[in-house]
Amino acid sequence: MIEPQIGIVANRSQFGHQLLQVLLVGLTLGMVRTVVPALAESEFDVARGSILLLSSFVVAFGLVKGVLNFVAGHLSERVGRKPVLLAGWVAAFPVPFLIYFAPTWSWIVAATVLLGVNQGLCWSMSQTAKLDFTRPDQRGLTLGLNEFAGYAGVAAAGIVTAYLTESLGMRVGLLVFGIAVIAAGTLLAVFGVRETLPFIRPSADRNWSPGQDESLPGTWAVFALMSWRDRRLAALSQAGLVEKFVDALVWVVLPVHLFAEGVPLPQIGWIAGTYGVVWGLAQLLTGPLSDRIGRHVLNVGGMWVCAIGTALMVLLEGFAGWTASAALTGFGMAMLYPNLSAAVADIAEPTWRGSAIGIYRFWRDLGYAIGALGFGLAASLAGTLDAAFWFVAGSMLASGALLALWGGESHPSMLDKAPIGPWSSR
């Protein structure tokens, strides 16, 4: 049996297919990020200022996506990456119809639960599949391109759906957009994507089939390593969790804040879209940069840049000020987002990397739920939306400090080869 070739160039066709997959996954997520929160009051009678009720759909999204990330990583090592990817697209089909026919806000929450399943399965598999055939010195580039494609899709969908809503109405606009994107993702996954598990299996395992590898560590053993047993993996997991506070804030609170300030819906789409576009584009720089200078400085710096950008969202006023603060926050996310994942991929062994990434993504996307609850309570107790922004800014500062204290460099050429273990400094 010929062993598969490793590297982006050798697998450029599949690399392109996987990038297109994550772009379409981003478009699927982005269709609900700008329009739905801004129009929650007029379309679904969500009382103005009821930030906890408004946050409920993001809480549901974070919980479901987090759990599905965990499941996807474990399952993909047993049945393969492609079946899990396809299951994610099947789960997305009802989403645009639920939004179109929704009589109450609870239907939006239900649609978001299915969206969380789609995101947890599809985004995880697209990322994991690319890492299967990427060389260690290309991981920063790979994850930079992956997250660029995904969040470019999120940003583009937010802008496009804002204009579609203006011309067709929210329900029809999201129905048309959603059906087109989900159908394209499913068809391309069926006919274009190939299984990548053979890239991580030794060529000597000619008779290997999913589920037969007894050398894999147990799921809970990997969970313990990611969550507390290994200091650097735990540092990365907590940073991943807290950085999602920022994205939840931009998803839930920023459109409501801007709409209350009288900003037209298309302009809200552009402000929120600027955050996503800068985040996406800058990862083309920050991902490869981490392959040269290391992950750690970019991860810690990104946490603190996000804290500053979030604070400026309430300190600055006007379209230019809000756009600038969104751009700065997006750049901070670009510094940390691909490189937290790359650091996990650096440390994890290939045979349990899928599980490690899934568990990291479990903690990371659980941040949607914890962040939404946290800033929802902060805003409710303080009686002002500004408290939500300050809660997130403070959380990012503290988490960045913890990452600086517990974390360390993980790039393969700079990695200390001490064994992984309880509170190791590996």
Q: What residue spans define the domains of the chain?
A: 9-201+217-406
The β-bridge partners of 424 are: 230
Cβ-contact 232, 347 below 8 angstroms = yes
Question: Which pLDDT score is estimated for 82?
Answer: 95
CA dihedral 309, 310, 312, 314 (to 10 degrees): 160
**pLDDT of amino acid 354:** 77
Which residues, other chains included, contact 298 with Cβ-Cβ below 8 Å and sequence gap of 6+? Answer: 286, 289, 290, 335, 336, 339
The pLDDT of residue 51 is: 75
| Nearest C-alpha neighbor of 389 from the set 258, 281, 279 | 258
Q: Give the model's pLDDT for residue 48.
A: 60
Q: Tokens representing 74? A: 């474990």
CB atoms within 10 A of CB 48: 11
Report the C-alpha dihedral over residues 186, 187, 193, 194, rounded to 10 degrees.
100
Q: DSSP readout, 121-175? A: HHHHHHHHHHHHTS-GGGHHHHHHHHHHHHHHHHHHHHHHHHHHHHHH-HHHHHH
Q: Say what angle helices 353-382 and 105-132 make with each other, to 10 degrees.
A: 150
Phi-psi category of residue 395: left, alpha or beta, with phi > 0 → left and psi -120 to 50 → alpha: alpha
Which pLDDT score is estimated for 2? 58
DSSP reduced 3-state for 424 = strand
Q: What is the pTM of this model?
A: 0.80
Of the candidates 66, 356, 404, the residue with the CA atom closest to the CA atom of residue 235: 404
- Asked if the 9-201+217-406 domain carries CATH number 3.40.50.12160, the reply is no
| Pairwise CA distance, residues 417 & 336, whole Å | 23
Closest CA to 295 of 244, 247, 337: 337
Q: Three-state DSSP class for 230?
A: strand
HSE (side-chain half, CA atoms, 13 Å) at 421: 4
Question: Could you report the average pLDDT of every consecutive run of 10 residues in the chain (426 residues)?
Answer: 79 94 94 79 70 82 88 84 95 95 90 92 90 87 88 88 89 94 97 90 38 59 92 96 96 90 89 90 91 94 98 95 97 95 89 85 92 93 94 98 94 60 43
Whether the Cβ atoms of residue 36 and residue 161 lie closer than 8 Å to each other: no
pLDDT of 44 reads 77
Q: How high is the pLDDT of residue 424?
A: 45
